[in-house]
Amino acid sequence: MSDDLYREAILDHYKHPRQKGHLAAPDIQFHDHNPFCGDEITIELKVENGIVVDAAFDGHGCAISQATASMLMEEILGKPLEELKALDKEYILEMLGIQIGPVRLKCALLPLKVLKAGVWGLEEWPE
Amino acid sequence: MQDRTELIRQDFPILQRTVASGAPLVYLDNAASSQKPVAVIQAMDDYYRRYNANVHRGVHTLSEEATAAFEGAREKVARFIHAPHSRQVIFTRGTTESINLVAHTWGRANLRPGDEVLITEMEHHANIVPWQILRDQLGFTLRYVPVTDQGLLDLDTLDELLTERTKLFCFVHASNVVGTINPVDELVARARAVGARVLIDGAQSVPHMAVDVQALDADFFAFSSHKLCGPTGIGVLYGKRDLLEAMPPFMGGGDMIREVTMAGSKWNSLPYKFEAGTPAIAEGIGLGAAVDYLQSVGMDWVRAHEQEITRYAYDRMSEVEGLRILGPGPEQRGGLIAFTLEGVHPHDIAALLDRSGVAVRAGHHCAAPLHARYGIPASARASFYLYNTTAEVDVLVEALHKTQEVFAL
């Protein structure tokens, strides 16, 4: 794993986000933010027969949170919803290919938190 | 001036360290918390090593010594802010608790539906949220003085906002985001004209300039120790004596009572009425040492030094392409500069500056409404203190250029 938080792939996804925007008629939509830093992520999914056929994210925040969301959208296309329920912290860190300290970890995990809340059908995160 | 700074830097052992990248520390996060001189660290160490005991009750030697040191610190703080008497210096956990104390005691006793509390758009959350909570409980109206594009309070709105309904006007002395030093004299005079009480948040002023609470004519004045070279966990509420005497107590418990029976209790005199439980003794002694230290340097020197650094930083940072400084020019501000950098999120700025050893704060600095006012989610902030140098500003500016290079990929 690289110790460079700002390796090229992350900066590329930050500057040129994939799947950014909104879907016409999403089946799943969830939004959340990080109150400490103000990062915001909305994720929308189009689902057919339990498979993600389209995915989009919108939001603003630091390079880590936004690049992670962009990478995650590409990763989940074509995957069954059930598989998304099992995604965890290690999956995200492997996808990013970097080591992250405790403070920035919350930036990297925000998109996963939003995705899983949507997939599990939460109205909002329990307090 | 730089020679003096070099001597001052030797008083702060932490300034000799390097950060994770191996670069020497350039500490520019003083508005969040300042570093501590040896004198403060030693004063606290000394208490724990030599005379650690509870205060105000024991009659043994250690307790006598601890009480003398703790109450001595209160005297020092009173002289530092020119309070008429040390009884008017109430020790709290910090600025936040000081403001909450006023809300819970004076606020509950004096505010009712139809009344108004006026605060400003540039307040720290510590001077917004306590009033929102109390408003929801008591049903008074909370109003805000708007901030101009230049980061100044819009004084033209005071005619409309300050009325005989206004019972309390709370405002920050020096902003922790736009840096603005507010015109306290005018604001207090306007409040007096309608009979409103005044609470001043001095968290960012007391550490950086000479403050005279009597000259300011503040009814309440709040600040923290840890931003003025002292330890965390202790702060001050100053109040006018008649107001403090008339206020009900804050928390109940030991030390704050004169008499307790099964039927009820009578309150202790000032300041103990507001200091239930064993206080932060080592921290109080540390705060006293911090005040001694700052006075040995001289608050006018501290202010002049920070003005020089801030002016230099303002000019140099203005040269950086895509960098936007929030707030007014260097003449109207304290020793801090919050900014945004085009195309780079403030958290990424802070993370990349750290590689060059530069510690800055990124986020909304507990002033979300002010950031919303400027249409930005967050900013980065460099804040200076008596031990910072223009050479450190050069390191900052160089690191900002490097940050832009990384993101220019």
Written as six digits, the tokens of B4 are 């003096």
Nearest alpha-carbon partner for B396 in B334, B343, B320: B320
Q: Which of B62, B138, B359, B366 is catalytic?
A: B366
Q: Which residue in B has a C-alpha nearest to residue A39's C-alpha? A: B377
Fold of the CATH domain B2-30+298-407: Aspartate Aminotransferase, domain 1 (3.90.1150)
A15 and B CB contact within 8 Å: yes
Its pTM stands at 0.93
CB pair distance less than 8 Å for B362 and A12? no
Residue B170 known to be catalytic: no
Fold of the CATH domain A8-119: Sufe protein. Chain: A (3.90.1010)
Burial classification of residue B240, based on how many CB atoms lie within 10 Å of its CB (0-12 exposed, 13-18 middle, 19 or more buried): buried
CB pair distance less than 8 Å for B347 and A12? no
| Per-position pLDDT tens, chain B of length 409 | 568 999 999 999 999 999 999 999 999 999 999 999 999 999 999 999 999 999 988 789 999 999 999 999 999 999 999 999 999 999 999 999 999 999 999 999 999 999 999 999 999 999 999 999 999 999 999 999 999 999 999 999 999 999 999 999 999 999 999 999 999 999 999 999 999 999 999 999 999 999 999 999 999 999 999 999 999 999 999 999 999 999 999 999 988 988 899 999 999 999 999 999 999 999 999 999 999 999 999 999 999 999 999 999 999 999 999 999 999 999 999 999 999 999 999 999 999 999 999 999 999 899 999 999 999 989 999 999 999 999 999 999 999 999 999 998 5
CB-based contacts of B401, cutoff 8 Å, min separation 6 = B320
CB pair distance less than 8 Å for A62 and B345? yes
Task: Give the number of beta-carbon pairs within 8 Å between A and B.
Answer: 45
Place of tokens 């001095």: B202
CB pair distance less than 8 Å for B352 and A38? no
As a residue count, chain B comes to 409
CB pair distance less than 8 Å for A37 and B348? no
Nearest to A6 among B346, B363, B406 (CB): B406
Single-letter amino acid code for the residue at B83 = A
CA distance B347 to B388: 23
CATH number of this structure's domain B42-296, picked from the four choices 3.30.470.160, 3.40.640.10, 3.40.309.10, 3.40.50.300: 3.40.640.10
The domains of chain B are located at 2-30+298-407, 42-296
A64 and B CB contact within 8 Å: yes
Q: Which of B125, B342, B348 to mutate to test the interface with A (most CBs of A within 10 A)?
A: B348
**For helices B390-407 and B299-318, angle between their N-to-C axes, nearest 10 degrees:** 30
B342 contacts on A by Cβ (under 8 Å):
none
- Reading phi first (left if > 0) and then psi (alpha if -120 to 50, else beta), residue A38 is in left
Place of tokens 């000479």: B210
